[in-house]
């Protein structure tokens, strides 16, 4: 979607098909299993997962990745026991309070996708503050998906298009893929080049359904708290060795 940056991409060539992914999206899965394997409560797995987030941000910056999108809480995760949901929200609160200043110093721009209106008002304020404070930063864009669901995002885009048609501002025949994509969240960002899921599960769990149409998918057995710099670098190396075709030959 972003027209600019193509030259930049080529300039960073290195690897079989030669390009550092501009946008990496990660389904951070396996915190519970990491904790269970150690006889620890799940909350500690989530806490260790937040540490892995700090490391992933650092590695993404050093690799020159432009956008890192992290799936932190899905619209289906409300089905979990109330105390686990509370732990996850508390951790998000803590992360935002603790990390914003440093992310800002490191020129990271923070953005959020998902339905934030269902979050507590203090979290909504922290999110708005994080976005505002880092809005002018031009380094890594860090996107956190919180109460995010890909199907809902698509339905919301369809609803907005329908409203424009109903208001007479748009003809049905003008609805094409570009018009549709413009109504999704983060329409200004390139689609993910690489989607990584940790924990050995091989599914998308409602993550970036539209945007991942042509993403390279990488499923790792590693549990999210164990996702370290070497694992991230290897994942990117695996990506650069792949041949992307986009239907061509």
Active-site positions? 29, 77
Tell whether residue 29 is a contact of Mg ion (CB under 5 A).
yes
Identity of the residue, 88 or 195, whose beta carbon is nearer to ligand IPE in the bound complex: 88
State which of residues 20, 24, 72, 96 lies at the interface with ligand IPE (CB under 6 A): 72
The stretch among 67-75, 107-115, 150-158, 241-249 that binds ligand IPE (CB under 6 A) is 67-75
| Helix and strand totals (H; E) in the chain | 8, 6
Tell whether residue 88 is a contact of ligand IPE (CB under 6 A).
yes
Per CB under 6 A, contacts with ligand IPE among 146-205 are 199, 201, 203, 205
**Which of 218, 190, 226 shows the shortest CA–CA distance to 65?**
190
Q: Cβ(207)–Cβ(148) under 8 Å?
A: yes
- State how far the alpha carbon of 59 is from the alpha carbons of 24, 130, 225, 236, in Å: 12, 21, 15, 11
Q: Which of ligand IPE, Mg ion, none sits in contact with 88, Cβ below 5 to 8 A by type?
A: ligand IPE
Q: Which of ligand IPE, Mg ion, none sits in contact with 143, Cβ below 5 to 8 A by type?
A: none
**Which of 145, 172, 148 shows the shortest CA–CA distance to 158?**
172
Residue with tokens 């990488």: 218
Per CB under 6 A, contacts with ligand IPE among 200-229 are 201, 203, 205, 224
The stretch among 30-38, 55-63, 90-98, 126-134 that binds ligand IPE (CB under 6 A) is 30-38
**Which of 70, 21, 30 shows the shortest CA–CA distance to 221?**
30
State which of residues 9, 77, 106, 124 lies at the interface with ligand IPE (CB under 6 A): 77
Tell whether residue 32 is a contact of ligand IPE (CB under 6 A).
yes
Burial of 110 (0-12, 13-18, 19+ CB in 10 A): buried
With residue 144 as reference, give the H or E element that holds it: strand 141-148
Residues that bind ligand IPE (CB under 6 A): 27-33, 71-74, 77, 88, 199, 201, 203, 205, 224
């Amino acid at each position: 979607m972003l027209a600019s940056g193509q030259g930049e991409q080529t300039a960073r060539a290195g690897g079989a098909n030669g390009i550092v992914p501009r946008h990496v999206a990660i389904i951070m899965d396996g915190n519970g299993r990491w904790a269970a394997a150690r006889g620890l409560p799940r909350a500690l797995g989530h806490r260790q997962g937040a540490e892995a987030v700090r490391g992933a941000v650092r590695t993404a910056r050093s690799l020159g990745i432009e956008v890192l999108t992290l799936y932190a809480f899905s619209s289906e995760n409300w089905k979990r026991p109330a105390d686990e949901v509370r732990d996850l929200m508390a951790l998000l609160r803590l992360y935002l309070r603790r990390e914003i200043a440093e992310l800002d110093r490191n020129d990271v721009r923070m953005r959020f996708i998902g339905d934030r209106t269902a979050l507590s008002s203090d979290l909504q304020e922290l999110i708005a503050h994080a976005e505002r404070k880092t809005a002018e930063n031009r380094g890594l864009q860090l996107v956190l998906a919180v109460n995010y669901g890909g199907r809902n995002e698509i339905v919301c885009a369809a609803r907005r298009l329908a409203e424009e048609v109903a208001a007479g501002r748009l003809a049905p025949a003008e609805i094409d893929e570009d018009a549709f994509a413009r109504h999704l969240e983060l329409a200004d960002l390139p689609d993910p080049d690489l989607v990584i899921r940790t924990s050995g599960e091989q599914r998308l769990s409602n993550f970036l359904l539209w945007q991942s149409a042509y993403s390279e998918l990488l499923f790792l057995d590693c549990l999210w708290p164990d996702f370290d710099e070497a694992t991230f670098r290897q994942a990117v190396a695996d990506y650069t060795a792949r041949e992307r075709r986009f239907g061509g030959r």
